[in-house]
Amino acid sequence: MSVGLRRSFRTVLAGPMCVGDTWNQRCPLCVHLYMATAPELRKLALAHDGVITIDEARGHGLTRGAISRRVRSGEWVREGPGLYRLADHPVTGQSRTRIATLTVSPQAILSGLAAAWWHGIVSARPATSAVSAPRGWHGSPVAGARIVRRDLDDADIVVRRGLRVTSLPLSVLEGAVEGKFDVLDRALQNKRVTVDALTEAYQRRRKCKGASKMAQMLVLVGSGARSAAERLTVDLFEEHGIEGWIANHPVGSYEIDFAFVRKKVAVEIDGMAYHRDVDAFQHDRARRNALITAGWTVLNFTWSDLLERPGYVAAQVRKTLA
């Protein structure tokens, strides 16, 4: 603080003055300025999972010396270059993810499944977070982060709770590629995104890694979903040498997706959650009960099973037919 500023307070605040940029707990001006800015900075830190960047601290009037004093006193914990955490704030999944992202770079962008988690699409935090950094980024590996060097369109970057994150549509698409198809299905079911928004995000990334799988998933949520499910199941049966089935086999007033008539085994592919409603759910339960009553063994599989666990589907069908 300047000598002139300190002198201007001398007529109001009595007591020894600090010298230069040195903190003096007996200096009324030092105490006054500390008390004026500390609550605001703490409020910001609490909103950011207890994490403070050096730019935020400097923006609230703290000098490097004042920051160092807080670290030495144990009030703050240094988490990385220019990155600090309130010592009395618990270490949480959110704080770990924020620290990992900001340690890469203040301009880094949380991405993929971790971004979907940050947006609240999935409940489980991934152990390692995908973090996007500019193509020209050069730095050391960061614990808890998988660094992806790439440039993103402005439309694919948002700030959520003070952290740069990929937009919701791109987070859902990349989260589904990195994790499970359910990420996309549930986001649509809960009306967090639209198919149009997902398609727009895909178009901006259509030449990038993971784009082919994104395109496949978008086809599945389109109008041809039922035929796509049938095609996937037929391909799975053929690949694993499973024979003797009949598609769309009628039993009473219902139709079995894939029936092994001789063994009375019914394979049913559950519709995607996005396409389901209460009436469809009730119809599926009634059909299942009717088939079981008629002596059929019913196997239900999901879209995620077909896409991500085809071996499991084949094994279950073989075991039931044996």
pLDDT tens by residue, 185-234: 888 878 899 889 999 999 999 889 889 989 888 877 765 556 667 778 88
Is 101 in the same domain as 81?
A: no
Is 103 in the same domain as 199?
A: yes
Please check whether residue 27 is in contact with residue 16, taking contact to mean a CB–CB distance below 8 angstroms.
yes
| Host domain of residue 77 | 3-86
Please check whether residue 171 is in contact with residue 121, taking contact to mean a CB–CB distance below 8 angstroms.
yes
Q: Give the pLDDT score at 144.
A: 93
Is 212 in the same domain as 108?
A: yes
Out of 186, 220, 254, a domain closes at: 220
Cα 62 to chain centroid distance, Å, stands at: 33
The pair of three-digit structure tokens given for residue 317, joined into one six-digit string? 């069908």
Is 306 in the same domain as 273?
A: yes
Q: Give the pLDDT score at 204.
A: 95
Is 258 in the same domain as 311?
A: yes
Q: What is the pTM of this model?
A: 0.69
pLDDT (tens digit per residue) in 75-90: 999 999 999 999 999 9
Is 315 in the same domain as 288?
A: yes
Q: Give the pLDDT score at 234.
A: 87
Q: In what order do the strands lie in the sheet with 129-133?
A: 145-149, 129-133, 109-111, 163-166, 157-160
Q: Which residues of the chain have pLDDT under 70?
A: 1-37, 222-228, 271-281
CA dihedral for 252, 257, 262, 263, sign (positive or negative): negative
Strands 265-269 and 254-260: antiparallel
The tally of domains found in the chain comes to 3
Bridge partners for 259 per DSSP: 246, 266
- 3-class state of residue 224 by DSSP: coil
Is 192 in the same domain as 230?
A: no
Give the CATH number of the domain where residue 232 resides: 3.40.960.10
Is 22 in the same domain as 38?
A: yes
Q: Give the pLDDT score at 102.
A: 97
Q: Give the pLDDT score at 253.
A: 84
Other CB atoms closer than 10 Å to residue 270's CB: what's the count? 17
Q: Give the pLDDT score at 248.
A: 85
Which H or E run includes 175?
helix 168-178
- The CA distance from 164 to 141, in Å, is 19
Is 216 in the same domain as 229?
A: no
Is 207 in the same domain as 232?
A: no
Is 141 in the same domain as 231?
A: no
Q: Give the pLDDT score at 187.
A: 87
Out of 59, 86, 113, a domain closes at: 86
CA dihedral for 75, 77, 78, 80, sign (positive or negative): negative
Out of 70, 86, 102, a domain closes at: 86
